[in-house]
């Protein structure tokens, strides 16, 4: 049996998730999707990912197992549903020609971090919320199927970023420049996650937490900014020579 909820998982959602115009049917579907994800997260946190069956999640929400899979294609996606939000943000913001690739990534990361720190400060017991986030990270790290799902999601994010960068520069998405640029950009998400874990219990306020995490991300971003800004135009492919064994 599940214990009383100590963290309001439903609050950890992007502000733009609710449509401006939403009918009753759409609202019911959105709320059920949220309920399924939040209930699954709570059960996984309490008992472990592998110990919980999808049928149990369905029963706790008063729906059929088939209904769960109508909303979430896999068990893993029940708890890792925010990766698609990042993909949506990449499509909208990374494509903005007025922002450099790094600035676009920093804008998305800043918004995601602000959502998280706002969520933390809104909890009845912020200290318990911090501890729960750390346990959530441990759940991710200790569950092979969740790690594999995270890697697959990261690959999709890199592919989306590569497509957008290719359109911005006149390259192909499978050109090495597009691939390495996209990979470098998406690595900033890992930096933010690690910085959050590092600073979560080292800072006194959530403003301090946000500033400390942002500072780490900015340091990493500065390191890759020069290389990514060189993607303004397509490099000449003819006449390029490489040094080393096998060079023409």
| Mean model confidence pLDDT for the chain | 85
pLDDT in tens, 114-126: 988 888 888 888 8
Could you give the C-alpha distances from 24 to 11, 28, 35, 61, in angstroms and in order? Answer: 21, 6, 16, 19
pLDDT in tens, 108-153: 999 999 988 888 888 888 888 888 888 888 999 899 999 999 999 9
Report the distance separating Cα 13 and Cα 82, nearest Å.
8
Sign of CA dihedral 195, 196, 198, 199: positive
30: three-class secondary structure by DSSP: helix
- Say if residues 160 and 90 touch (Cβ distance below 8 Å): yes
Q: Residue 18: what pLDDT?
A: 53
Q: Residue 233: what pLDDT?
A: 54
- Within its chain, how far is the Cα of 173 from the centroid? 21
Q: Residue 248: what pLDDT?
A: 44
- Say if residues 87 and 156 touch (Cβ distance below 8 Å): yes
Helix axes 176-199, 206-229, angle to 10 degrees: 160
- Which domains occur in the chain, in start order? 21-74 (1.10.10.60), 83-232 (1.10.357.10)
Confidence of residue 240 (pLDDT cuts 50, 70, 90): very low
């Amino acid at each position: 049996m599940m214990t009383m909820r100590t963290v309001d998982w439903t609050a950890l959602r992007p502000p733009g998730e609710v449509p401006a115009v939403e009918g009753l049917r759409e609202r019911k579907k959105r709320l059920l999707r949220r309920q399924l994800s939040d209930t699954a997260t709570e059960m996984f946190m309490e008992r472990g990912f592998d110990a919980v069956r999808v049928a149990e999640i369905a029963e706790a929400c008063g729906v059929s197992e088939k209904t769960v899979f109508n909303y979430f294609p896999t068990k893993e996606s029940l708890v890792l549903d925010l990766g698609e939000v990042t993909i949506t943000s990449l499509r909208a913001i990374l494509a903005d020609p007025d922002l450099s690739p790094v600035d676009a990534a920093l804008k998305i990361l800043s918004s995601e971090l602000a959502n998280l720190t706002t969520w933390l400060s809104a909890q009845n017991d912020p200290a318990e919320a911090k501890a729960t986030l750390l346990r959530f990270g441990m759940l991710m790290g200790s569950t092979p199927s969740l790690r594999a799902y995270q890697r697959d999601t990261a690959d999709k994010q890199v592919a989306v970023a590569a497509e957008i960068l290719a359109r911005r520069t006149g390259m192909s998405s499978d050109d090495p420049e597009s691939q390495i640029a996209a990979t470098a950009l998406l690595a900033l998400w890992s930096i933010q996650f690690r910085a959050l874990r590092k600073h979560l219990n080292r800072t006194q306020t959530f403003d301090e937490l946000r500033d400390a995490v942002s500072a780490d991300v900015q340091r990493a971003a500065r390191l890759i900014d020069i290389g990514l800004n060189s993607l303004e135009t397509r490099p000449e492919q003819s006449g390029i020579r490489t040094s080393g064994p096998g060079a023409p």
